[in-house]
Amino acid sequence: MTEKRETLSRAAMGGAAMGRVQAAGAPKRSLAAKLFRRTLPVVMLIVLLIQGSIAWITWTDQRRALERRAGVLTDLTAAAIATPLWYLDRTVFEPQVEALVSDQGFRYARVLDDNDEMLFETGTPPEPGSGVITVSRTIIEPQGHIKVGTLEVVFATGELNRIAILQVATAAFAVLLLTGALSITVQFAMRRLVVQPLGRMLRAMRQVEHKSWTTLDEPTDDELGQAAAAFNRMVAGLRAGDDARRLLEALQDAQAALVEKNVELETANRQVMESIRYARRIQEGILPDPAVLAPAMADIALLWEPLDVVGGDYCWMERRDGKCLILLADCTGHGVPGAFMTLVVASELKAILDVASMPAPDLILAELDRRLRARLRQDRPDPGGHDASDDGVDAAVCLYDEATGTVAFAGAGLSLTVVGPDGVSSITGVRRSLGYRTLPPPGRIPVHLHQVRPGESFHLWTDGVTDHVGGPSRRLFGRRRMAALLASHADLPLADRLRALTAALDDWRGAEARRDDMTLVAFRPRLPGPLADGSATAGLPTPTPTPTPTPDEP
């Protein structure tokens, strides 16, 4: 069967198309008639209510105005005729009362004496039940003590009623006029905008039933235009049935291939994650056991929480020859790259410490800088342009001498915080990093010697601890809040102190995600016998460590 495709435009399917549609089954009642029957009562009611409201408001306002005018005229006239009426001078008060006739609303007026006997009247007395406004005023003699008579004035409201009736008649005429205009407008609009497009759509449907793929040309953006667009999409869908079936088969094949690839990706991801989790076990294995320093420490605790499964923070502890070494390093990056850097740092540190005597903290850092540059080939010009590596570490070393009870500290990019009975203080490391290609060697790194006093504890941490973003203003936690937190928990054991710190950081961060690895080492040295009670340190000067600058902290 040969397919036919035709586009029915508005011009091509005018009256003739409508005739054929109606011949197939003319509606008993048109859409225009239905719409007219539903809208006409509403329009008539609205118009009548509006005009009736306007007439009532106008009549009420005019009546109030007439009452006010009647009251004013009566008051003025009563005051004017008080003296003539006291002297019974009719030549004066009667013309004054008759002057009220000049008001367009005046109907009738009369003057009574103090015994309510008629003295004078003018105008036409109102009939009972007629619409009038009556105003009565007592006339007082000039001295203001004795009643000399009464003035009654009647004003007619016929003009007000006439205006109200005219407005009601105007409303009725407006209803009739709007009814006729609405009828004509609805009939024309419905035929032009609804009936004719529907007729074209019905004819197109009959043609589609016979596989003649007819589409509609309705450029409007209203509901009928949307219906025509949906009809055209339906016709296109029917014509493309075979293509759709073939597309469905291809889609099913692609879906099967995608499922297979997803399985492969899940397998590969599982293997990678298993490898990374195993790498965490290896990384945890190269971290020190704080118990190695237990003989020289009254208390020690370690917090190591990488951002990902593995991380770029590294810590090392070692005790020999009566000295305890604690090193903390914050390597470039986090995750797998950072973990690789920790292995490099661990390897180079082992070589540095593999000597007869324990090196000084500044020498350890200087040698670590030199070895990292050599191992990562960052001690020579960049041969490959901007793609060459530029990695390094921030590191700090604490060396506790068990014999003298002193802590020697050197830091490059990290600081040491001391919590003691006198509060919290910070010993600042140099503002340098180690190993980076683009940075010069740190040069001489000063060593700070601190005499340990009873009750003091020491804290080393990487910037991932204080760089938590949160709080009401979404700011960094910062060193000041960290110092305040440590001071408020100074009486806790170090493990409990680190748990309180973790809870406080979680509360500060709220829904914010962590941004970096975080590691914190806290230790409280065990003082030698003469220093344990503080008597041997009574004559020593109090250390004055330099506070760590915190320009960006809250």
Same domain, 155 and 40: yes
- Domain-located, residue 112: yes
Q: What is the pLDDT of residues 175-223, one digit of tens each?
A: 788 777 777 877 777 777 777 777 777 888 888 777 787 887 777 777 7
Mean pLDDT of the chain: 82
Q: Do 275 and 205 have their domain in common?
A: no
What's the confidence (pLDDT) of residue 551? 36
pLDDT of residue 10: 47
Tell me if 478 is assigned to some domain: no
Give the angle subtended at the CA of 129 by the CAs of 123 and 135, to the nearest 5°: 50
> Do 193 and 300 belong to one domain?
no
**Dihedral, 42, 46, 48, 53 alpha carbons, nearest 10:** 160
Q: Are residues 296 and 182 in the same domain?
A: no
Q: Among residues 186, 198, 189, which one has the least CA distance to residue 13?
A: 198
Q: Which amino acid is at 446?
A: P
> Are 489 and 479 a contacting pair, CB within 8 Å?
no
Task: Give the pLDDT of residue 11.
Answer: 43
Residue partners of 143: CB distance under 8 A and separation at least 6? none
Provide Rg for the chain, Cα atoms. 52
Q: Do 393 and 418 sit in the same domain of this protein?
A: yes
227 and 269 inside one domain:
no
Q: Are 119 and 149 in contact (CB under 8 A)?
A: yes
Query: Would you state the pLDDT for residue 9?
Result: 52
Residues 165 and 39 both lie in one domain = yes
The pLDDT score that the predictor gives to residue 274 is 85
DSSP assignments along 210-252, one per residue: TTEEEEE-----SHHHHHHHHHHHHHHHHHTHHHHHHHHHHHH
Neighbours of 208 (CB within 10 A): 17
Q: What is the pLDDT of residues 105-143, one digit of tens each?
A: 788 889 888 888 888 888 888 877 667 888 888 888 877
**Domain span holding position 259:** 246-286
- Asked if residues 124 and 113 have their Cβ atoms less than 8 Å apart, the reply is no
pLDDT at 383: 65
- With H, G, I as helix, E, B as strand and everything else as coil, classify residue 431: coil
CA distance linking residue 105 with residue 102, whole number of Å: 9
287: its two tokens: 């971290």
Please, are residues 523 and 494 in contact by the beta-carbon 8 Å criterion? yes
Burial of residue 80 (number of CB atoms within 10 Å: 0-12, 13-18, 19+): middle
Whether 232 and 255 share a structural domain:
no
Written as tens digits, the pLDDT of the chain (554 aa) is 444 455 555 444 444 434 343 444 555 566 667 776 777 787 778 877 887 788 788 878 878 887 888 888 888 888 888 888 887 888 888 888 888 888 877 888 898 888 888 888 888 888 776 678 888 888 888 777 788 889 888 888 777 777 778 877 877 787 788 777 777 877 777 777 777 777 777 888 888 777 787 887 777 777 777 777 787 778 777 777 656 777 888 889 999 999 999 988 998 888 888 888 888 888 888 899 999 999 999 999 999 999 889 999 999 999 999 999 999 999 988 889 989 999 999 999 999 999 878 999 999 999 999 999 999 988 887 766 566 788 999 999 999 999 999 999 999 999 999 999 999 999 999 999 999 998 999 989 999 999 999 999 999 999 999 998 988 888 999 999 999 999 999 999 999 999 999 999 999 999 888 899 999 999 999 998 766 665 555 444 444 444 444 434 44
Strand duo 212-216 + 4-8: pairing: parallel
**Number of folded domains in the chain?**
3
In a domain, 473, yes or no: no
One-letter amino acid of 42: V
* Co-location of 410 and 517 in the same domain: yes
C-alpha span between 553 and 463 (Å, rounded): 12
Say if 471 falls within a structural domain: no
Q: Decide if 366 is inside a domain.
A: yes
The CA–CA distances, whole Å, from 252 to 167, 239, 264, 519 equal 76, 21, 18, 51
Q: Based on the number of CB atoms within 10 Å of its own CB, is 353 exposed (0-12), middle (13-18) or buried (19 or more)?
A: middle
**In this structure, are 418 and 306 located in the same domain?**
yes
- In this structure, what CATH number is given to the domain that contains residue 292? 3.60.40.10
Evaluate whether residue 477 is within a structural domain: no
* Residues 271 and 300 placed together within one structural domain of the fold: no
Any domain includes 332 = yes
Helix or strand holding residue 316 (H, E): strand 313-320
Same domain (yes/no): 359, 459: yes
Phi/psi for 354 (5° steps) reads -80, 60
Q: Looking at the domain assignment, is residue 489 inside a domain?
A: no
Which of 286, 318, 347 is the endpoint of a domain?
286
462, 517 Cβ separation under 8 angstroms: yes
